[in-house]
Amino acid sequence: MNKKILEQAIKLAKDARQGDPDVGDIFWFPDNNQIRLVYVGKKQCPSHLGEAVSPFYFPSSMQDGIGFESAEDLINDDEVGKLSVPDGWCGWEEAVKI
């Protein structure tokens, strides 16, 4: 586990919660080269038709203290653990709630 990626994932999670009070659980999918987060919106409508996590990709941003590319998605409570994750990601069973 890359400790710097975990620290930056926690920072992004904290920023998301401060910016949107409707963000509930946040799952980190450990990786050594990329921050992979799935946010669970308390009021988020289902948007994936029960298929897959579809993250948006963001470049690193040193001015914001984020030194790694990130892959992030927002889903609703009913989709947690049911949507497939992108190829190369660990599964839901290995995701860490942060």
In tens, the pLDDT along 10-24 reads 999 999 999 998 999
Q: What is the DSSP string of 16-57?
A: HHHH-TTEEEEEE---SS-EEEEEEETTPPP-STTSB---EE
If one counts the domains in the chain, the total is: 1
User: How do residues 38-92 score in pLDDT, each as one tens digit?
Assistant: 999 977 777 656 689 999 999 999 888 889 999 999 999 989 999 999 999 999 9
CB 96 within 8 A of CB 30: yes
**Confidence (pTM):** 0.92
Contact partners, residue 15, CB within 8 Å, separation at least 6: none
Range of the domain at 45: 3-97
Position 6 confidence tier, pLDDT thresholds 50, 70, 90: very high
Q: What is the pLDDT of residue 46?
A: 75
At residue 45, the pLDDT reads 75
Residue 70, pLDDT score: 97
In this prediction, residue 30 carries a pLDDT of 97
Give, in order, the Cα–Cα distances in Å from 21 to each of 7, 30, 31, 33, 59. Answer: 21, 24, 27, 29, 25
